[in-house]
Structure 1
Amino acid sequence: MEFTYQLSDIESVADKVLENIEHKVVTLEGAMGAGKTTLIKSIAKRLGVSTPISSPTFSLVNEHESDNGDLYHFDFYRIEDEIEAYDIGVEEYFYSDNWCFIEWPERIRNLVPEAHSTVKIEVLENDFRKLKILNN
């Protein structure tokens, strides 16, 4: 699935993403500032998370309770190698059957479960974004 949107439409975009992903492990790909964290915030709200969502850039993972179980938000932008992710126990998170949203998955490509959904965000002109969903 692929569509174009503006950030002002982020709540309906979150609904479309939730309707079209097939896995609870979701990687988000896109340039810095593409809106990955903004989308995760909106999805988390839709899933019943009531606590504030922020990027876990320095902590690597933020944990949130939701109406649909736990939700884990990962940001691997600052890691040096996959061992750092492995050391925080990512495999336990990824195979917990809870929601896992992963920013900068290319930094831990070998640790991402084979069965996952991918959301790719591309920044276009005039504050538009193109979103593509792939289910693996």
Structure 2
Amino acid sequence: MSQRVFSLTNEDETVALGRQLSALITPPLTLYLTGDLGAGKTTFSRGLIQSLGHQGAVKSPTYTLVEPYELPSMRVFHFDLYRLMDPEELEFMGIRDYFSDDCLCIVEWPDRGHGLLPEADVHLHIDYMEEGRTLRMDAITSKGKILIEQLK
């Protein structure tokens, strides 16, 4: 498994890392984002999704579970499973249909959907530090390994 660790001192650096990763993404790709509430998962996602071409706000899909973004080069599905009560709810929403060959799927709180989500290509974990955050990227698949090795 390949791993990269980034120190992020503020929100702008978190958004910038999302932008940097977006330049390397080709679907299909699945990203897991974990970390405490307010750690910066949605901030990172915003930088990534807007850099892929989305015009407008990127909000946390905490209440809707998923926010879709139809972009020229791919479809992006941003999941936030924090409020998921039972993983079986994902079956009712047709979770498998979202993970197709032309999609980037970003999943916050993936542990809540355990057993029903496909394996991540890259798992990103954000931790609070005394000042700023640490973002650790772990490559789970060979595609994920190539992706994070290309980051500067």
Does TM, normalized by the shorter one, top 0.5? yes
Cα 1:108/1:131, change in 2 over 3 Å: same
Structure 1 counterpart of 2:5, one-letter code: E
Query: In the alignment, is residue 3 of structure 1 matched against residue 6 of structure 2?
Result: yes
Query: Is the contact between residue 22 and residue 49 of structure 2 (CA under 8 Å) also seen in structure 1?
Result: no
- The Cα shift of 1:65 comes to 1.5
Query: In the alignment, is residue 31 of structure 1 matched against residue 36 of structure 2?
Result: yes
Structure 1 CA distance for aligned equivalents of residues 85 and 15 of structure 2: 33
Q: Deviations over 1:31-74 (max 9, x none)?
A: 00000001101100111111321111111111112232111110
Structure 2 counterpart of 1:17, one-letter code: L
Query: In the alignment, is residue 101 of structure 1 matched against residue 140 of structure 2?
Result: no
Unaligned stretches of 5+ residues in structure 1: none
Query: Is the contact between residue 84 and residue 112 of structure 2 (CA under 8 Å) also seen in structure 1?
Result: yes
Query: In the alignment, is residue 134 of structure 1 matched against residue 138 of structure 2?
Result: yes
Structure 1 CA distance for aligned equivalents of residues 136 and 23 of structure 2: 13
Structure 1 counterpart of 2:124, one-letter code: V
Once structures 1 and 2 are overlaid, which stretch shifts more, 10-19 or 38-47? 10-19
Q: Whose helix fraction is larger, Structure 1's or Structure 2's?
A: 1
- In structure 1, the partner of 2:125 is 120
Structure 1 CA distance for aligned equivalents of residues 50 and 17 of structure 2: 12
2:83 to 78, 81, 100: 78
Structure 1 CA distance for aligned equivalents of residues 17 and 63 of structure 2: 27
Query: In the alignment, is residue 47 of structure 1 matched against residue 52 of structure 2?
Result: yes
Structure 1 CA distance for aligned equivalents of residues 123 and 22 of structure 2: 12
Using the size of structure 1 for normalisation, the TM-score is 0.89
- In structure 2, the partner of 1:13 is 17
Q: Percent identity of the aligned residues?
A: 31
Query: Is the contact between residue 16 and residue 47 of structure 2 (CA under 8 Å) also seen in structure 1?
Result: no
Unaligned stretches of 5+ residues in structure 2: 141-152
The count of aligned residue pairs is 135
Q: Deviations over 1:55-112 (max 9, x none)?
A: 1111111111223211111011111111111211111102343011111101012122
Cα 1:19/1:50, change in 2 over 3 Å: closer
SS at match of 2:67: strand
Q: Deviations over 1:103-129 (max 9, x none)?
A: 110101212212521111111112x11
